[in-house]
Structure 1
């Protein structure tokens, strides 16, 4: 991407969240991003009303960055694509003339300018007189809690401070579309926690459309109102964070939200699993008992914490689901140990360090895995 922020003149944001009438009038984002780049084809439809924060998620190579560049005008759309913002067609509008602000992954602040002049750069490009632009920039820095750093150049700012300057620089142009490219990726864990909370507050006050590209599910869950998951250049799931966390529809999403996910056919409370390449599915004869009474194609999900492991076949367990497995690998997962199991049903199980030691778990160790029906969740595929 270019090292010059995208700025342009635009009307200031409206003072309230959008009504149904405003959405009907064409305000907000309406786009179909079609991009052909050799063997890769992106075809993603996005709509968002003013005030919406949409997160684009997906594995490496899914097309997130291509989608962001297309929204910014840095990558042209192919035949069949369109980009409308507040009812205006931007397909042929050059990037520097679009009402779009961008916060880049590495911020790309001008190293020779102070924090104040970095933020004032956008308004100055819009024709705002220097003194007024600097006054606006000072107000933005004060809002970001950076008034005492107005005279500092980027090299003297911490990562969190530089990130906030970059956000202020993007917002100072009053964009109608704000694009954030992995805005927290360059921060350490402690700074990321603080800046994430601050960014959430600023996005809550932003009254145009914001699109966030991230690989971090926590960033997406905390910052976005809606998640759009892309795989292989296509949207595979679109919904609120809670909907997607509860009803993942691909293995990537299940891993993202920390669930074991399987696909099969339900006959009442019994789900017969299918062997599907892109899902964690075992042999067709494997079944899972659920509390839901369903018929037809379904997904079944449960968290690794719902799995209980035994070295010998349990005799007194009340769990309705029991599978013979083998430890394929062990790794630290937060303050617990995650065991990746193979066998009758490939799955992940979380247990404490003490439990792992008492079970003498190691790669290749045979185990029995149980899950109570009440801890599974089945839903139509």
Structure 2
């Protein structure tokens, strides 16, 4: 994946000589207000990540010109697109449900874009055939959408978007409609094509794995605004909201540090290895939690809380316990351990976490 120099969102474009995307998207819809700044360099893939209703798709549609902005603007490669109609923008879009023309073959679906941009029928079909070959779909050129699998239809939609050589590629939940096995294969292919894409790519998803695998940088949107951005590893290591913490599988708390002790805003204190002062976040994975049926005697863990099991669910090959009480947290344990502890909703347990397994950082 290509990594390029980045600047703060909404500042000057990140590419050389004004290349890339520099946008501030302000959209007012009833009581909902979207206000998101995006600065993306050529060759960079940015994922807009967030819960349902956060404004991700609205932002994508505003970039495409399908939703009017009530403030801000969109600048691509130094040119303002605010007054440019959607069909005239150098933008390719892959929608969640593909929106292929049902009466056209795969070849003619892909050729549609070049034809709209002035290519002759023969030239458009030549371009389309080349893209279908790159997608491994040369043998399906004559098939209509109803004869294609979900993965094949997604590849045709991507080929159609790329065939016009867009300067901005927008992908709206491109893998959401695929089954798990197909999703795995298409995600790997999509990563390869995005790595080769030399212009700007913006991906909207609520799936953290899609975002982590496909994007160079994540922009997390909640309630219409950016709450955190950074590389996937930065986001995973230092989440700043409960939504992000749940996304990356961490217990997250906010409090005030004094040395190695963090006093939580609502709850007990947590002992950490980091020595900090002032407002901080503390995070630890569910796998760092050890559960006991009775209060452990002589336990070395400085962090010990009396909790109650609120719920249990299968999480991969483990059991995840949702705990409330002195501290609300999630704990992962094996099915055997859960059975030995006699875990069930309402049961009382003692939870411990070693200070070395916590991670504290400034809020």
Cα distance change on mapping 1:69 and 1:157 into 2, 3 Å: same
Match of 1:240 among 222, 228, 231: 231
Match of 2:132 among 141, 156, 160: 141
Instruction: Answer yes or no: is 1:33 the counterpart of 2:25.
Output: yes
Cα distance change on mapping 1:226 and 1:18 into 2, 3 Å: closer
Match of 2:289 among 304, 307, 315: 307
SS of 1:213's equivalent in the other structure is strand
- Residue 301 of structure 2 corresponds to 319
- Residue 311 of structure 2 corresponds to 329
**1:158-173 equivalence runs, <5 A:** 158-173=149-164
- Residue 51 of structure 2 corresponds to 59
Assess if the C-alpha contact under 8 Å between 1:254 and 1:260 holds in 2.
Answer: yes
Instruction: Answer yes or no: is 1:122 the counterpart of 2:113.
Output: yes
Assess if the C-alpha contact under 8 Å between 2:4 and 2:44 holds in 1.
Answer: no
Cα distance change on mapping 1:17 and 1:234 into 2, 3 Å: closer
**Separation in 2, partners of 1:375, 1:306:** 6
Q: How far did residue 98 of structure 1 move?
A: 0.1
* RMSD, matched Cα: 1.4
**Separation in 2, partners of 1:356, 1:56:** 37
SS of 2:338's equivalent in the other structure is helix
**Separation in 1, partners of 2:182, 2:301:** 43
Match of 2:68 among 76, 79, 85: 76
Deviations along 1:94-141, one digit per CA (max 9) or x if unpaired, are 000000000000001111111111111100111111111111111101
Q: How far did residue 318 of structure 1 move?
A: 2.0
SS of 1:25's equivalent in the other structure is helix
SS of 1:174's equivalent in the other structure is coil
**Separation in 2, partners of 1:212, 1:24:** 22
**1:1-381 equivalence runs, <5 A:** 23-79=15-71, 81-275=72-266, 283=267, 286-381=268-363
Assess if the C-alpha contact under 8 Å between 2:14 and 2:39 holds in 1.
Answer: no
- Residue 9 of structure 2 corresponds to none
Assess if the C-alpha contact under 8 Å between 1:300 and 1:376 holds in 2.
Answer: yes
Assess if the C-alpha contact under 8 Å between 2:14 and 2:21 holds in 1.
Answer: no
Q: How far did residue 320 of structure 1 move?
A: 1.7
Structure 1 unaligned regions, length at least 5:
1-15, 276-282
Aligned length: 356
**Separation in 2, partners of 1:239, 1:191:** 29
Assess if the C-alpha contact under 8 Å between 1:35 and 1:76 holds in 2.
Answer: yes
**Separation in 2, partners of 1:186, 1:17:** 29
Cα distance change on mapping 1:22 and 1:106 into 2, 3 Å: closer
Structure 2 unaligned regions, length at least 5:
7-12
**Separation in 2, partners of 1:252, 1:124:** 44
Deviations along 1:20-56, one digit per CA (max 9) or x if unpaired, are 9982411000000001111011100000000010000
Q: How far did residue 216 of structure 1 move?
A: 0.3
Q: How far did residue 19 of structure 1 move?
A: 7.6
SS of 2:295's equivalent in the other structure is coil
Deviations along 1:308-358, one digit per CA (max 9) or x if unpaired, are 101011124322211000000001111111100000000000111111111
Q: How far did residue 17 of structure 1 move?
A: 8.0
Runs (4+) off by over 3 Å: 16-22
Deviations along 1:37-81, one digit per CA (max 9) or x if unpaired, are 1101110000000001000011111111110110110111103x1
- Residue 10 of structure 2 corresponds to none
> TM (normalized to structure 2)?
0.96
